[in-house]
Amino acid sequence: MPKKFIISTMLLFAFANSTFAQFGFSHEIGAIVGPVAFQSDYGQRYDFATNAGNTGYGIGIIHYLNFSYRAECNCYTPETYFNDHFKLRSELSYNKTELQHFGKWVDKSRTSLFADQLRAMRGSTAVTNVGMQLEFFPLSIRDFSSTIGAWAPFISMGGQFSFYDPEVYSTLGPLNTPISTPIKYYDATTNQGGTVWSIVGSIGTRYKLTELSDLMIDLRWQYYFSNWVDGLNPDPAVYIENRANDWNVWLNFGYIYYLQ
């Protein structure tokens, strides 16, 4: 991940936070970590072994704007439905997944050259994300904030901008040769990184641990507007089983601290 990308992102967060702080909103910061299941052109569709095997990890730092509370006066903001049920989440996160083919086409019983080539293919992708989500809490944020041991379920939707860095190779030798590469992947691989937009949606809940801290768990779905994030992109007009863009599912576990 380029250093300029990290520095620019941190400066953007700092500018946004200082700008919103002038309006009197309070802030929360936290960290997230959890497993990531990457859905790509590796493996068989709708296959449990593929979903379980192509799993990596993700980490991130998160920031919230809490519209219901004003830190500088230690008081609540004017009571409106928006203030009591929404928070704005900013995020800088990173995930990495090792990838390979799973499913019936690489079963040990298959002894064709095609099966051997698929079994020999390896890859990975590392993705750095920056973006925002608007979180909706059906229950009162104020009531949750004042009750230790309370739960606050939420749903969210937002967008992210990502820098991805894929790697594709074969243990049989260089790619794009009759020995190493299945015909569907000829000239359909890349080790070049790029950028992509994505949409993000999640469902989860918070648990009020102390007056100034929460635990969080959420299940996120992220859809990339590109089919190159994993480094593979067979011709979708010919190989319709690979026509979908890349996406992932991330189970987050987080800790959030309220800034005063």
pLDDT at 23 over 60: no
pLDDT at 66 over 90: no
pLDDT at 173 over 80: yes
- pLDDT tens digits, 91-124: 999 999 999 999 888 999 999 999 999 999 999 9
- Confidence class for position 177, pLDDT limits 50, 70, 90: very high
**In whole numbers, what is the pLDDT of the chain averaged over residues?**
87
In this prediction, residue 121 carries a pLDDT of 94
Range 77-94 average pLDDT: 87
Other Cβ atoms within 10 Å of 63 Cβ, number: 20
Range 171-197 average pLDDT: 93
The token pair at 82 is 């928006």
In this prediction, residue 15 carries a pLDDT of 54
pLDDT at 40 over 80: yes
pTM value is: 0.86
Please report, to the nearest 10 degrees, the dihedral formed by the alpha carbons of residues 203, 41, 174, 119 taken in order.
Answer: 100
Half-sphere exposure of 150 (CA within 13 A, CB side): 15
In this prediction, residue 103 carries a pLDDT of 87
In this prediction, residue 205 carries a pLDDT of 98
Half-sphere exposure of 243 (CA within 13 A, CB side): 6
In this prediction, residue 226 carries a pLDDT of 95
Residue 78 near residue 68 (C-beta atoms within 8 A): no
29: helix, strand or coil: strand
Residue 26 near residue 215 (C-beta atoms within 8 A): no
Higher pLDDT, 4 or 207: 207
- Confidence class for position 195, pLDDT limits 50, 70, 90: very high
Share of the chain above pLDDT 70, in %: 85
Q: For 175, phi and psi rounded to 5 degrees? A: -70, 165
Q: Which residues of 127-165 are buried (b: 16+ CB within 10 A; e: fewer)?
A: bbbbbbbebebeebbbebbeeeeeebebebebebebbbb
What is the spatial distance between Cα 151 and Cα 229, in angstroms, rounded to a whole number?
Answer: 36
Q: Between the CA of residue 212 and those of 30, 68, 121, 185, 215, what are the distances in Å?
A: 12, 14, 48, 52, 11
In this prediction, residue 24 carries a pLDDT of 56
In this prediction, residue 77 carries a pLDDT of 57
Residues 6+ apart with CB under 8 A from 79: 142
pLDDT at 201 over 90: yes
